[in-house]
Amino acid sequence: AEHQHVRYNPLRDDWVLVSAHRVKRPWQGQLEKPPPEDVPRWDPNNPLCPGATRANGEVNPQYEGTFVFPNDFPALQPDAPEPDDSGHPLFRAAPARGVCKVMCFHPWSDLTLPLMSLPEIRAVIDAWAELATELGASYPWVQIFENKGAMMGCSNPHPHCQVWASSFLPNEACLEDRTQCQHLSQHGVPMLLEYAEQEARRKERLVVENADWLVVVPYWATWPYQTLLLPRHHVCRLQDLCDSERDNLASIMQRLLIKYDNLFEVSFPYSMGWHGAPTGPYLKEDCRHWQLHAHYYPPLLRSATVRKFMVGYEMLAQAQRDLTPEQAAERLRSLPEVHYKKRAE
């Protein structure tokens, strides 16, 4: 807690430098603007709202729950041509095809996941699972991710996420596949199942838990209040969750995200995403080494206006953090589970 040291991340096979004393240094750097509190519930000019017209001229239906549509500016397309052969091994390219979708969580623009009801969050989880099943029938990787807040590059405050299905395994997926496979081979148990059992017993990095799930600030966390959402039981993919596991997932997501918002009493920015066993051709392969999990990467460090930047040493050497995961977990754990906007109700 007092002296710098490095910690090993077995999921990524790399190290992070922990320098807890640096959080005491005075901050004279950039200050971020807090997110706006006056987001209109419905705006006809917002392309994600019910009834609004999107950039391609299509009109959204008057949806009342979740709403999924093809991304109007997709990073991946299903019919992309083969790249030319450069003729030299230092200039390699490979085909990249896929599908990109956008999913709105709710028809109201001024609502975020922690302020939604449990049935509404459960509907989001069910829609995630449906998309993972649909796209995973043919594509080897389906990446569900949410960028929340302008600080994380989100250009629209309406509650939504993206789903990109690709014809290839992305870098992070390949890395986690290799490390989890090696761990199962060497230790006879899935890495993240063993890790969840250890964290549940030690409790020093535990944030919230219930019968089926736990949230921890991982021992190897890079971002200040990074968390890892883990099942207590072995499950490979989001679509494999039973009804009770989905209900408990909705509950623990709500509890975590309320704590995030309560930390600095602001709509807490983050990037999050689900990682599970590959799909498509991998559905016929043995993927027991995989354990479903979700990563939450929030950038805020000291307040709603001071963020952690990944620059300099982090870009050129290795990741570095300014407070210990145990300190971050203790602070999150101690926060109330009633949203700050609802305390006066």
Q: Could you give the 3-state DSSP secondary structure of residue 209?
A: strand
| 32 annotated as a binding-site residue | no
Residue of 160, 183, 289, 339 marked catalytic: 160
176 in a labelled binding site: yes
Q: 23: annotated binding-site residue? A: yes
Q: Is 211 annotated as a binding residue?
A: no
Bridge partners, residue 68, by sequence: 103
The answer to whether the annotation marks 153 as part of a ligand binding site is yes
Is 147 annotated as contributing to ligand binding?
A: yes
Task: Give the position of tokens 């209109």.
Answer: 40
What CA–CA distance (Å, rounded) separates 121 from 112?
10
Closest C-alpha among 229, 253, 76 to residue 159? 253
Q: Is 156 annotated as a binding residue?
A: no
Whether 154 has a binding-site annotation, put simply, is yes
Tell me the residue ranges of DSSP E strands in the chain.
5-9, 14-18, 67-70, 98-104, 141-148, 160-166, 206-209, 213-216, 227-231, 270-275, 293-297, 300-303, 306-307, 319-321
The alpha carbon torsion through 325, 299, 130, 291 (nearest 10 deg) reads: -20
Q: Is 143 annotated as a binding residue?
A: no
293 has binding-site annotation: yes
46 known ligand binder:
no
Q: Between the CA of residue 249 and those of 105, 209, 238, 263, 326, what are the distances in Å?
A: 16, 10, 11, 21, 23
Confirm or deny that 72 is annotated as ligand binding: yes
* Residues 83, 165: Cα–Cα separation, whole Å: 19
Q: Are 98 and 166 in contact (CB under 8 A)?
A: yes
Q: Is 160 a catalytic residue?
A: yes
State the catalytic residues.
Answer: 160
Annotated binding site for UDP-alpha-D-glucose: 22-25, 55, 71-72, 147, 153-155, 162, 308-309, 313-314, 320
Annotated binding site: 22-25, 55, 71-72, 147, 153-155, 162, 176, 275, 293, 295, 308-309, 313-314, 320
Annotated binding site for Fe cation: 176, 275, 293, 295
